[in-house]
Chain A
Amino acid sequence: MSHVAAPLEVIATRFSSLAGKDAPDEQTLIALAAVDPAAATAWLLERDPADLPARPRLARFLSAVAESISRSPGAVDAPELLQIVRRFGHLLSPQHATEFAGAARTAPVDPALEEALHAALERAPEHPALLRAAAELSVASGQQGRAHELLTRLGRADSGLATMQYVYGARQRLLRTSSTPVRVAIVSSFTIDTLVPYVDLECRALNLEPHIYVAPFNSWEREMLGEGSGLQRFEPHIVFLAAAADDLIPRLASPDASLTTAGEAAVDRLLAAAERFTSWSSALLVVHGFQSVFRDTLGPASSRIGPSRSEVMNALNTRLAEGLRSLPRAYFLDLADLVARRRQGAADNPKLRHMASMRLSEHVLRDLGTAHAQYIAPLMGRTRKCVVLDLDNTLWGGIVGEDGPHGIRLGDTSPGSEFREFQQFLISLLRKGILLAVNSKNNEADALEVIRSHSAMLLREESFSAMRINWDSKPSNMLSLAAELNIGLDSFVFVDDNEKERALMRQAHPQVLTPEMPKDPARYRETLEMLPELQVLTITDEDRSRTQQYVERRQREQLRLTAQTPEGYLASLEIAAAIETASPRTLPRVHQLFQRTNQFNLTGIRYEPGVLAARSTDNAWRIYTAQVSDRFGDHGLVATAVVRAERDEWKIENFVMSCRVIGYGIEDALLARVAGDARDADARWLAGEIVTLPKNAPARDFFARNAFTPDAGDHERRNWRRDLGENGLMIPRWISVRADNGA
């Protein structure tokens, strides 16, 4: 205890004053806390509250006690510590609340301890030690939901290996959540178990329940073959193949000029494994690109003698990426790019490489976890449909109501260029089919003047599918945006520089994804760029024109308001539908439609791309699609049905239709076509099922209004069927149908 300045005897004589009425001086108290935390605690608890030191001094004394306890655990008994926490918890700093929580752990957990920790967390929401202590308590007391939430926050606050492993380990002691399960496999040539906690965290943050399979050490080639391998038995949704270039091409470590031949052989091994895999699995396959920890041994001379090592590696990566592109459902993950762009720390830890066959440092693991989530999120339907933006200090610098339309910061120089860069990114979202909308507290005229006529604005009125520029609360604007765009709150991302607005939104609408934004607008772009919820796996024609479709919708709405009758309105729209069976060209959109549709969705069944591909060529199945246009424009492929064609009965396994065309009668036209095909194939019955899902009210009367007969069933799910010998189903009069590739 070298830091205790006063000799013990001096302190001892001073302690005599502790018994008296006068408050002892601060130095004495702190010394007491250091040498005898038990005595200090006892003094605190016995003292009449009126005679305690004033608040700042009391807080410093508590800090000294906490530090003393952390040095000599067990010096103070848990009941006394709990009393301290009950009475003085609100005065504890985050670090010291953590110390007390560690020392005063009891079974069952004392609520006062939890309250003190939560009060401290309010003040320091991202304090790792505090989060860990609170998480430990929640795990111990079996509060499942709270524990998961705290563990996710802890993993976000401290992404070091030790914390991430704790977070992952603690989750294994909790019950499974009711979230959608996702089965993720990681197949590797090196020790990659350390990646698991990072992938697990990302899945949890996406509200998925992850099941993660790590193939045995360096068994990737055998696993990918199938033939009853662990990977095959696991039945993954998605597989990450991480074979390190340094394992596949050992000569990367030595001064060897002839890398190309060995490298190409390695690429071909990977491609052969990938091809084999796609032949037996319908899962998504993501293959890590090549990246070596070894520099070119020739240094500066390498680029003169050439090709240099980086040139060779680039060429190998191109070969790998091109090969994967020709396979179904196979993706190339550019590991070299990911390592170069890592957010912090060294990419390689030589010690770990030698000691534990680990090829990726913890700094790379965090970013790799995020990169993996960028495939998992869109695969599992977690892509958000619309980014809702604040204006002042989000899309431009300054406040238009105060600075005027010409006083805001937006342009080629800083301050202002940061916002332009952010807008450039937002435009890229439009190309991916993600909508933009505005939710801003402003005078509409001021804001519109900037949007319409500021020379540096990149986003214009036609970039936004809907705008709310008013003085209403942002959560209530969000509800009206959801109603106008006809999408759920869980389809939104809300971007606002204002911390209070973000907090209000999170509280009012937790379904809206409200990311924490950095204070510095120069960092806005990277904050959103990495979000797994803004990634897509393919870009369909529908994605490219989605914003245009919402503009056309506004025009239709105007026509509807002037029409005499609903049917007159529908007839005036000049609706045309092309009903076909799915082809390789339309399958990506069919998959996307099943993933995205929540309202007109009969059973909620979603399909993996491989399943759809297999069924599209299987005689026992029919996948129907409807592409729709009207006088205002093209809706694209908006309805699809998967039908099992048996001899007597055709059964609709699932049928979805985009909410954009609800009310047009497209579903009836498509059903009439299915019924016609079934009858032509001499089937007697057309059947289907309706499952009650949270949002599928528009679909629930589908069979009833088409004169199907229900079986007993129940409210949750019911089977329906219709005798095809009865009068045929009719295509609505206002739709003209083209059948292009009929069955």
Chain B
Amino acid sequence: MAPEAVVARVLGLSRQAVTDGTSNTTESAWDSLNHVTLVLELESAYGVSLSAEDALAMTDVASIKRVLRDYGVEWDGA
């Protein structure tokens, strides 16, 4: 599953609506509660353990992908 799909699921957006530019400033649904949920869902989707620093760095889809790549995560279409 692509990170976009995880973001879409957590924020309740359609898959097509999520791009690299989708961020916590463009989406009102991306509040602090959903950010925590997003971290948990990314961890379980990719089998990684994200630190608080990672969580702070993940402010949009592009930065989520950067963090995941640093952990060696791959996904279809990456």
Contacts and interface: CB of A to CB of B under 8 A. Distances in A.
Interface stretch (A69-77, A245-253, A425-433, A605-613): A69-77
Contacts of B48: none
Contact of B12 (A161, A169, A194): A169
Interface stretch (A271-279, A314-322, A350-358, A694-702): A350-358
B73 interface: no
B16 interface: yes
Contacts of A70: 5, 15
A671 to B, nearest CB: 55
Contact of A162 (B2, B10, B49, B50): B10
B14 interface: yes
Contacts of B50: 351
B18 to A, nearest CB: 9
A204 interface: no
Contacts of A169: 12, 29
B77 A193 contact: no
Interface string A131-175: 000000000000000000000000000001110011001100000
A105 interface: yes
A216 interface: no
B36 A358 contact: yes
B60 interface: no
A105 B14 contact: yes
A162 B9 contact: yes
A102 interface: yes
B12 A170 contact: yes
Q: Which of B14, B40, B41 has the most CB of A within 10 A?
A: B40
B14 A71 contact: no
A74 B16 contact: yes
23 contacts: A70-B15, A71-B76, A71-B77, A73-B15, A74-B16, A102-B15, A105-B14, A160-B41, A161-B40, A162-B9, A162-B38, A166-B10, A166-B12, A169-B12, A169-B29, A170-B12, A351-B39, A354-B52, A355-B52, A356-B32, A356-B33, A356-B36, A362-B40
Nearest to B4: A73
A355 B10 CA distance: 18
Interface of B: 2, 5, 9-10, 12, 14-16, 29, 32-34, 36-41, 49-50, 52, 55, 76-77
Contacts of B29: 169
Contact of B37 (A72, A102, A105, A161): A161
A577 to B, nearest CB: 57
A355 B52 CA distance: 6
Contacts of B12: 166, 169-170
Contacts of A162: 9-10, 37-38, 40-41
Contacts of B77: 71-72
B38 to A, nearest CB: 8
A165 B37 contact: yes
B55 to A, nearest CB: 6
A166 B6 CA distance: 13
Contacts of B40: 161-162, 352, 362
A79 B55 CA distance: 39
Nearest to A349: B40
Q: Is the interface on chain A under 10, 10 to 19, 20 to 34, or 35 or more residues?
A: 20 to 34
Contact of B14 (A102, A165, A352, A362): A102
Looking at A105, A166, A193, A352, the one whose CB has the most chain B CB atoms below 10 A away is A166
A70 B16 CA distance: 10
The 7 lowest CB-CB distance pairs between A and B, nearest first, are: A73-B16, A73-B15, A161-B37, A162-B10, A356-B36, A162-B37, A71-B76
A351 B52 contact: yes
Nearest to B17: A73
Nearest to B77: A71
A354 B5 CA distance: 27
Nearest to B8: A102
A102 B41 CA distance: 19
Nearest to A196: B33
Contacts of A73: 15-16
A54 B9 CA distance: 35
Contacts of A160: 41
Contacts of B36: 161, 194, 352, 355-356, 358
Contacts of A351: 39, 49-50, 52
Contacts of B2: 71
A601 B49 CA distance: 59
Contacts of A358: 36
Given A161-B36, A165-B33, 18 more contacts: A70-B5, A71-B77, A72-B77, A162-B10, A162-B41, A165-B10, A166-B12, A169-B12, A170-B12, A194-B33, A194-B36, A351-B52, A352-B36, A352-B40, A355-B55, A356-B32, A358-B36, A362-B40
Nearest to B12: A166
A70 B77 CA distance: 11
A681 B29 CA distance: 63
Contacts of A165: 10, 33-34, 37
B20 to A, nearest CB: 14
Nearest to A166: B12
Contacts of A161: 36-37, 40-41
A459 to B, nearest CB: 44
A326 B24 CA distance: 49
Contact of A193 (B14, B33, B55): B33
A72 B39 CA distance: 24
Contacts of B76: 71
A160 B39 CA distance: 13
Nearest to A167: B12
Contacts of A74: 16
Contacts of A354: 52
A355 B55 CA distance: 9
A231 B55 CA distance: 33
A488 B40 CA distance: 45
A166 B37 CA distance: 11
B5 to A, nearest CB: 8
B48 to A, nearest CB: 12
